[in-house]
Amino acid sequence: MKRIYEAELESKETKCYDRPLYRDVRFESASLGPPTRVSYLFTVRPEHCNKNGVLHGGCATTLIDVLTTSILFGIRRPDFWILPGVSRSLNITFLRPVPVGKEARITCELIHAGRRLAMIRAEIQRTDTGEVCVTGEHDKANIDPRL
Amino acid sequence: MKRIYEAELESKETKCYDRPLYRDVRFESASLGPPTRVSYLFTVRPEHCNKNGVLHGGCATTLIDVLTTSILFGIRRPDFWILPGVSRSLNITFLRPVPVGKEARITCELIHAGRRLAMIRAEIQRTDTGEVCVTGEHDKANIDPRL
Amino acid sequence: MKRIYEAELESKETKCYDRPLYRDVRFESASLGPPTRVSYLFTVRPEHCNKNGVLHGGCATTLIDVLTTSILFGIRRPDFWILPGVSRSLNITFLRPVPVGKEARITCELIHAGRRLAMIRAEIQRTDTGEVCVTGEHDKANIDPRL
Amino acid sequence: MKRIYEAELESKETKCYDRPLYRDVRFESASLGPPTRVSYLFTVRPEHCNKNGVLHGGCATTLIDVLTTSILFGIRRPDFWILPGVSRSLNITFLRPVPVGKEARITCELIHAGRRLAMIRAEIQRTDTGEVCVTGEHDKANIDPRL
């Protein structure tokens, strides 16, 4: 599975909105489970922050958006989530700030993958304290035209 | 009010995560109401998109995050939301894609501002068709230390 | 449309969880639009409240669940939302309490109905002050077996 | 802790909206942790269902509302969450139906308790299959007047 996720990180096209983030994301671990989980590490740089010097809510959401999506690459089969789908909703809760310079772990867990909808949960934790700083739920809709 | 919002757009520091977006956002209108509303225009460029050539969910969320926050500058008084607060949650729903090259209107409406929490709703619409493409709710917590 | 919604209110089966609420809900108005909107009136009785004597969050959510669903009866066609679907998510925000004895208006607006998913927004307002007290977003999945 | 939660279940007043549910909820286990967790068991009866004979979304939400709140009784101290607060938001996702007659486990986990806001996550699982059927996030605001 390591190979799948690392290949995914490397394959990102140059002009995408999320492209600049991939330089700072490292694959950490994956498990097909259940539960299906994947984790990444990320170091917060000034360009990921807001005026208060902490991880920007928009950046946290973008990370959660793309990294929760990556979990679907681990479960795809010819007849099941062959494409990673489109976002239906992202619900993000900000519990604590992640200060610039800190390393964070982004853990994604597949809560449910049905034929048409999948829900993946994410948590962003500081690796130095273990504190959960941001949580998110990502609801994805399958767009396989054969459905 | 125009002046407040335009000054806010111009004052953004160079290194912020949301800084690159401000070049592409234009103030459109504001009304103190009630309801308190502000709208902006935005043209979707390739660097705001995902691999499918449509506005990236992370970019849409970042726009909603920062533009809903801007509404709080319009209602601030010495003893009420003197600071724009911090995000508690962002709930975003993606209804339709916004294709690259299209112009979008981002309308923000203050639903409620209490002493400690405020909720602002946003909609991203295509200006050519009027279709609502993305909706969001942003819950903000006041961090005025005198509270 | 009045007839559709009133018939729906009356047709509820005896044993449903939401059945006791229907006695206290009155159809107010409907418009096919766009936007498609329907509103109901509701008087808060002690059995709808929590220990603080205000509308219970669970009761507010149940009202929003069933009344937003009712909007789909107004748009159904033989090939489009012939069934009212199942809930995918309910996101409810509580802005102000609704005290026992007060009348509330529950306004539901269809934000988007696609082939497979529909999103309806609701607001619960006090009719005496006009204040928005609760807001909700209801995402529904179509379960028409022909899809 | 068992005593705290059982006393809480028994103390509910007669006229509350959630009162009828308590007859069917049994305390299962609790741990102060971290993580702070409490679980309950619940059997789905016809009066908790919708027309399709599965647990009503409004009933699932009411259960999540009140049982996630109960976790705050386990952490209260004279200067910290002395009152259980009021709901700010409930975000519920319905993944699978829970059929009438089935037993469900409702597990609540405290994700974060700050001075003013607390977030508790819940999952409703079928005990026979272990499947997660409903997930929820409950954001509570502290209303201690000394804050």
Question: Which residue among C91, C116, C141 places its CB closest to the CB of A91?
Answer: C91
Interface test with A, best of B8, B50, B86, B133 (most A CBs within 10 A): B50
Per CATH, domain A2-141 is 3.10.129.10? yes
Q: Report domain extents, chain B.
A: 2-141
Q: Are A90 and B66 an interchain contact pair (Cβ–Cβ within 8 Å)?
A: no
- Chains sharing 3 or more CB pairs under 8 A with chain C: A, B, D
* ipTM of the shown complex: 0.93
Mean pLDDT of the residues in chain A: 92
CB-based contact D112:A95 (threshold 8 Å): yes
Q: Give C-chain residues touching A85 at CB under 8 angstroms.
A: none
What tens digit of pLDDT does each residue of B103-147 get?
999 999 999 999 999 999 999 999 999 999 999 999 999 999 888
From residue D10, how far is each of B120, D4, D26, D67, D82 by CA, in Å?
39, 10, 10, 13, 19
Q: H or E element: which one contains D22?
A: helix D19-22
pLDDT on residue C13: 53
Q: Give C-chain residues touching D63 at CB under 8 angstroms.
A: 58
Question: Which residue among C93, C96, C132 places its CB closest to the CB of B139?
Answer: C93
Measure D18 CA to nearest chain C CA, in Å.
7
Answer whether residue B13 shows pLDDT above 70: no
Question: At CB < 8 Å, which residues of chain B contact A?
Answer: 13, 15-18, 46-52, 56-59, 61-63, 65-66, 86-94, 97
For chain B, give the percent of residues with pLDDT over 70. 96
Burial of A119 (0-12, 13-18, 19+ CB in 10 A): buried
pLDDT on residue B14: 61
Question: Which residue among D89, D116, D141 places its CB closest to the CB of B89?
Answer: D89
Question: Which residue among B17, B47, B57 places its CB closest to the CB of A65?
Answer: B57
What tens digit of pLDDT does each residue of A2-36 get?
777 777 777 655 678 888 788 889 999 999 999 99
What tens digit of pLDDT does each residue of D15-36 get?
788 887 888 899 999 999 999 9
Could you give the CA distance from residue B81 to residue B13 in angstroms, rounded to a whole number?
21
pLDDT on residue B8: 72
pLDDT on residue A17: 87
Question: At CB < 8 Å, which residues of chain D contact B?
Answer: 88-89, 91, 116-117, 139, 141
Interface test with A, best of D93, D126, D132 (most A CBs within 10 A): D93
The amino acid at residue C145 is P
What tens digit of pLDDT does each residue of A39-78 get?
999 999 999 999 889 999 999 999 999 999 999 999 999 9
Among candidate residues B136, B141, B139, the one with its CA nearest the CA of residue B60 = B136
Q: Give A-chain residues touching C88 at CB under 8 angstroms.
A: 88, 117, 139
Question: Which residue among D93, D132, D139 places its CB closest to the CB of A137?
Answer: D93
Q: Give D-chain residues touching C56 at CB under 8 angstroms.
A: 16-18, 62, 65
Interface test with B, best of D88, D120, D139, D142 (most B CBs within 10 A): D88
Please give the biggest Cα pair distance in chain A: 47
Answer whether residue D62 shows pLDDT above 70: yes
pLDDT on residue B122: 98
Could you give the CA distance from residue C75 to residue C32 in angstroms, rounded to a whole number?
8
pLDDT on residue A12: 58
The residue ranges of chain C whose pLDDT is under 50 are none
pLDDT on residue B87: 97
pLDDT on residue A140: 98
Q: Are D96 and A111 an interchain contact pair (Cβ–Cβ within 8 Å)?
A: no
pLDDT on residue A48: 95
Q: H or E element: which one contains C59?
A: helix C57-75
pLDDT on residue D90: 98
Question: At CB < 8 Å, which residues of chain B contact D?
Answer: 88-89, 91, 116-117, 139, 141
Answer whether residue D106 shows pLDDT above 90: yes
Answer whether residue D11 shows pLDDT above 70: no
What tens digit of pLDDT does each residue of A77-136 get?
999 999 999 999 999 999 999 999 999 999 999 999 999 999 999 999 999 999 999 999
Q: Give B-chain residues touching D91 at CB under 8 angstroms.
A: 91
pLDDT on residue D116: 95
Among candidate residues C84, C91, C90, the one with its CA nearest the CA of residue C141 = C84
Question: Which residue among A95, A111, A112 places its CB closest to the CB of D119?
Answer: A95
- Chains sharing 3 or more CB pairs under 8 A with chain A: B, C, D
Low-confidence winner among A35-39, B80-84, D10-14, D97-101 (lowest mean pLDDT): D10-14
Bridge pairing between strands C37-43 and C86-94 = unpaired
Question: At CB < 8 Å, which residues of chain D contact C?
Answer: 13, 15-18, 46-52, 56-59, 61-63, 65-66, 86-94, 97
Query: Any idea what DSSP says for residue A99?
Result: B
Could you give the CA distance from residue A89 to residue A118 in angstroms, rounded to a whole number?
11
Higher per-residue pLDDT: B39 or B18? B39
Q: Are B114 and C93 an interchain contact pair (Cβ–Cβ within 8 Å)?
A: no
Chains C, D: CB pairs < 8 Å? 108
Q: Give C-chain residues touching B96 at CB under 8 angstroms.
A: 112
Question: Which residue among A16, A57, A97 places its CB closest to the CB of B50?
Answer: A16
From residue A43, how far is each of A9, A15, A98, A105, B118 by CA, in Å?
16, 22, 10, 9, 30
Interface test with B, best of A64, A67, A87, A139 (most B CBs within 10 A): A87
Radius of gyration of chain D from its Cα atoms, rounded to whole angstroms:
15
Measure C89 CA to nearest chain A CA, in Å.
9
pLDDT on residue A13: 53
pLDDT on residue D95: 98
Tokens of D68: 């996630």
Question: Which residue among B91, B117, B141 places its CB closest to the CB of D91?
Answer: B91
Could you give the CA distance from residue B89 to residue C135 in angstroms, rounded to a whole number?
15
Low-confidence winner among A15-24, B54-63, C2-11, D5-14 (lowest mean pLDDT): D5-14
Q: Are D49 and C16 an interchain contact pair (Cβ–Cβ within 8 Å)?
A: yes
Question: Which residue among A58, A86, A92 places its CB closest to the CB of B17?
Answer: A58
Q: Give C-chain residues touching D86 at CB under 8 angstroms.
A: 52, 94, 97
pLDDT on residue A92: 98
